[in-house]
Amino acid sequence: MSNPAAPRLHSRKERIGVVLSDKMQKTLVVQVRRRVRHAHYGKVVNKAVTFKVHDEKNDARAGDTVRIAETRPLSKEKRWRLVEVISRGREKAEAELKDEAAEILKTAQPEPAVSEPAAAKEV
């Protein structure tokens, strides 16, 4: 009798947001931004909401873009869990670039010093 094409009842909400804080153990603060048209004026307004998210493995860091899903209440404020890290934040990318630059500088050979022209005028 069950129809596989029928919509699932009680499907979990999913959101995509950016990690603002990862300073708590197994907990993230994620900001989800959305654009909404104002009901009266019609102007598009940016709105943001923050969620406390459960991160069992402590994978995500501040600045990462993550997918979160609604779940049962885990604490007073935690109602969401981390599904996946979509992309790493700027801090990790900058750290990797600094490491690569340091390696390049170590392998590069210094150029011979160029002496200044001997025809410098004295006053």
Residues paired with 48 in a beta bridge: 33
Judge whether 66 and 30 are in contact, CB under 8 Å: yes
Q: Is the pTM of this model over 0.85?
A: no
Burial of 92 (0-12, 13-18, 19+ CB in 10 A): middle
pLDDT digits (tens, 9 = 90+) for 52-110: 999 999 999 999 999 999 999 999 999 999 999 999 887 666 666 677 777 777 777 66
**Structure confidence at residue 38 (pLDDT):** 96
**Structure confidence at residue 104 (pLDDT):** 74
Structural domains of the chain, with CATH: 14-105 (2.40.50.140)
